[in-house]
Structure 1
């Protein structure tokens, strides 16, 4: 394991629940109360692709500008309450830094959003590199983001490990030839998604314990009595 590539939303930051709640609120505001299925389908998908999905589902009369306006209103209201890290995020980042393992955040968010949210969460200074949807022509589930992150770290994709929470992210890492660990957030993996994973674990503390057990990271592994 020469480098670790970390998804942001739902993996490091506990933002997916905020995004899902804001998406549902926006859809309700526009008069689409039965939108849970498409809201779940948009998890882990870049914004422009989500807009295309909404237009495909509801037709050209769907107001993208109205949706985005309502989404931002609800999102910013929730973010005022703070931007929490997922359990184990800080410990994993510190362990990777202490072991001098190159690391990058690989996110479907825009550069502006990624920089803002990582800073609000207090971990931007501990991340070597951030690769966003603004850096590539195709977002997840295409492999472009992961291939670019490995290239910028001067690493072969096959020597990297990806950590993801969603099927689009796992698909992107798999297509790039990168082994991936999934830590599911809102949605559990399907059987097909599980086949693309090196492991499916409950949280980032379990990821850290696995990396120590396998000898990729130094440190004591706590044993249950």
Structure 2
């Protein structure tokens, strides 16, 4: 009997999150949010513990959307806070440097060697995204990197995933896999209708939350992704050149 898994097409495209999935966070996002909130007063309408809880729950989402909530819907204040966040994040990266999740670059190269295109996505603005790529030396490693500004809406909307599909001229959403460390990453992949959504445990959210959001598989880290795809028969039969 042919199962749905047996009938699944080989993948063509992998969409990977950045901070927490391929790039080490080590609390940098939370610290940058705190600096931005302090500098702009955007979270003054609620206790800081409540604001921080919202930041943690919405990890992976567009930063402007997170700050809009914290600012009580005041878009102008949210834009100022988002700019302050991007500035604070850049400060921290300059202070501490930027490092990959151990083995992430090799994992990305392994996926490419298997015949897959690899696109990175993030809730950061393009300037921060590009600073991370430059800091890691990943400009030539990945096929593309996208921010909400490139796609329309940030996660959990499907826009980043679908923009990656269109830019890479992928044949169908079923030929796309998504991997990320947050509920928003998982929900974005599910809403896009991709062939497989993987959660990873190197970032913001735990296994139970990722599975509840709809992850097909939860991995310790991104280095396990190629093996997980191979076990499911989802790698291309003939790697592309």
Q: TM-score, normalised by structure 2?
A: 0.77
Task: Report the secondary structure of 1:154's partner residue.
Answer: coil
Whether 1:194 and 2:212 are equivalent positions in the alignment is yes
The answer for the alignment partner of 2:71 in structure 1 is 55
Whether 1:205 and 2:223 are equivalent positions in the alignment is yes
What displacement does 1:68 show? 4.9
Task: Report the secondary structure of 1:141's partner residue.
Answer: coil
Distance 2:156 2:213 in 1: 16
Is the contact between residue 24 and residue 39 of structure 1 (CA under 8 Å) also seen in structure 2?
no
Is the contact between residue 107 and residue 132 of structure 1 (CA under 8 Å) also seen in structure 2?
yes
Whether 1:2 and 2:12 are equivalent positions in the alignment is yes
Alignment size in residue pairs: 215
Superposed CA RMSD in Å reads 2.7
Q: Where does the alignment leave 5 or more consecutive residues of structure 2 unmatched?
A: 1-10, 237-241
Q: Where does the alignment leave 5 or more consecutive residues of structure 1 unmatched?
A: 219-225
Task: Report the secondary structure of 1:194's partner residue.
Answer: helix
After TM superposition, the structure 1 = structure 2 runs for residues 22-171 of structure 1, keeping only pairs within 5 Å, are 22-27=32-37, 30=41, 33-34=48-49, 35-56=51-72, 64=78, 67-68=81-82, 71-72=85-86, 74-80=88-94, 81-155=96-170, 156-171=172-187
Task: Report the secondary structure of 2:140's partner residue.
Answer: helix
Deviates more, 1:13-22 or 1:77-86: 13-22
**Residues 199/25 of structure 1: CA separation in 2 closer, same or farther (3 Å cut):** same
Q: TM-score, normalised by structure 1?
A: 0.82
What displacement does 1:8 show? 1.4
The answer for the alignment partner of 1:181 in structure 2 is 198
